[in-house]
Structure 1
Amino acid sequence: MGLERFSLESRVALVTGASRGIGEAIAVAMADAGASVVALARSEEDLEATVERIEADGGDAIACTADVTESAHVEAAFDRAEEAFGSVDVLVNNAGTNPYFGAAEDLDIDTWEHIMNVNATGAFRCAREFARRIDERDGNGSLVNVASVGGVVGLSHQVPYTASKHALVGMTRTLAIEWAPDIRVNALAPGYVKTAFTKGVRENESIHEDLLDEIPQDRFADPEEIAGAAVYLASDAASYATGEVHVVDGGYAAH
């Protein structure tokens, strides 16, 4: 099998949460693989930096500001993608939030609902719109849900986040069955990555060292190490993979 199986030439990829961290790295990697990229997030300023990175390397990309918790925003984003590049072939559900670290009994329901609305329901809004439009043109598509190692194991003091990511994994497996063969649906489960999400953990020497003791590779990942797996799942190289949870965690979940 040649490397052309990993190419995304002539594909259109919409990446949510593309303004920084893992989402930015995935958007850039998709473009490097040949896709035209729709970079979506709530912040236009940060998105422009992602688009500039892609264009500087000769790729095609547009910025699209939208909130995945609003169905009208999601529909408009797909409209914008189609106007710019044509129908979306690859959807990467990366938008996420994790504002709570603490005891479950102290968690307020508003925070729980916010996290679930972004991480699980927001992803479903995007997936549903993707499927509706794929169906209209009877095409093949690839949906990559960016879950977390917290979608396959428990993470202490992060009950709403892990619940939302377990929900995303369950959604992935069910949609893979329901939408085959037109759409392959897989989840990517990163471990601890050097992003703004983990800044507090990395700056707390005690917590950081404890986590490193649980990671066989003894380090946090760079975002680009996660992005390569996303390109694989989106490409024809993964043409027989669906309903899969691809864990990229340096061995954290292997214990």
Structure 2
Amino acid sequence: MTYPILQDKVALVTGAAMGMGAATAKLFAAAGARVAVADFNDEAGAKTVAEIEADGGTAFYVKVDVSRSDQVASMVEAVASRFGRLDVAVNNAAITPDTNSLTELDEDYWDRLMSINLKGVALSLKYELRQLIAQDEGGSIINISSVRGFRPQPNAAAYVAAKHGVVGLTKTAAMETGSRNIRVNCVAPGAIDTPMLQASLARKGQTEADFAPQLSLLNRFGRADEVAQATLWLASDLSSYVSGTTIHVDAGYTSS
């Protein structure tokens, strides 16, 4: 059962076409929010919206490349135009980790990943914060980092660096806007069963049974909805005195 803890709120979720983003958008809608589903995948984004509407929720799709400042600005403007305001934003859009060692660094992929996974969060914060400041009624922003922002792994330098950067952006934004009652927090998922993780396992020829015990004290992968629940708490007034922090949804991985 989902309680209406976001009733009458307007929420924006980037990377909401599938995986954790889609789970978050659906949960927010079930909690009473009107949701903007932002992504670059038109077909999957429309599917997320349709599923929300089929369950009685309110949502619309906005196409965005979060590495483009003009598109991110238009995304936030579209939300404010459609729903009249913005209350909550989840900056989740990201692409899959790199796979080369530093000595074999793929500079083109480094630039692409950084432009989406790190710059995309910075640009999203820029325009979301402008909207919240203009409204002058506070708000909540949640950035999605990763356990790799706390426990690095080899052969993923770009991803690790970007996810560390997301944590830094979160703390900076929280410091800059706390006096305006804008809370900015972070969620760091561990091994979550998403299309991104499944693609990574396929490349390595591994299964959940092989890999999960290495990444989870519970010996299983997490579910996208388990990450969404943590994000929902941070989005709601239930976390009204929480800002500048990170919640780890990783079955204890970063505690060991």
Partners of 1:5 and 1:235 within 8 A in 2: no
Q: Which runs of 5+ in 2 are unaligned?
A: none
State the match for 1:33 in structure 2: 31
Q: Which runs of 5+ in 1 are unaligned?
A: none
Task: Provide the C-alpha distance between the structure 2 equivalents of 1:107 and 1:98, rounded to a whole number of angstroms.
Answer: 15
Structure 2 CA distance for partners of 1:170 and 1:83, relative to 1, 3 Å: same
Task: Provide the C-alpha distance between the structure 1 equivalents of 2:209 and 2:112, rounded to a whole number of angstroms.
Answer: 27
State the match for 1:232 in structure 2: 233
Amino acid at match of 1:13: A
Task: Provide the C-alpha distance between the structure 2 equivalents of 1:110 and 1:125, rounded to a whole number of angstroms.
Answer: 20
Deviation at 1:207, TM superposition (A): 8.4
State the match for 1:216 in structure 2: 217
Task: Provide the C-alpha distance between the structure 2 equivalents of 1:160 and 1:84, rounded to a whole number of angstroms.
Answer: 36
Task: Provide the C-alpha distance between the structure 2 equivalents of 1:192 and 1:49, rounded to a whole number of angstroms.
Answer: 25
% identical aligned pairs: 35
SS in 2 for 1:126: helix
Task: Provide the C-alpha distance between the structure 1 equivalents of 2:101 and 2:158, rounded to a whole number of angstroms.
Answer: 11
Check if 1:51 corresponds to 2:55: no
Aligned residues: 253
Q: Which runs of 4+ in 1 moved over 2 A?
A: 3-6, 200-208
List aligned pairs for 1:128-139, cutoff 5 A.
128-139=126-137
Deviation at 1:201, TM superposition (A): 3.9
Amino acid at match of 1:126: S
After superposition, the CA RMSD in angstroms is 1.8
State the match for 1:193 in structure 2: 192
Partners of 2:3 and 2:31 within 8 A in 1: no
Task: Provide the C-alpha distance between the structure 1 equivalents of 2:168 and 2:250, rounded to a whole number of angstroms.
Answer: 19
Q: TM-score, normalised by structure 2?
A: 0.94
Partners of 1:6 and 1:236 within 8 A in 2: no
Amino acid at match of 1:189: A
Structure 2 CA distance for partners of 1:66 and 1:213, relative to 1, 3 Å: closer
Structure 2 CA distance for partners of 1:44 and 1:119, relative to 1, 3 Å: same
SS in 1 for 2:16: coil
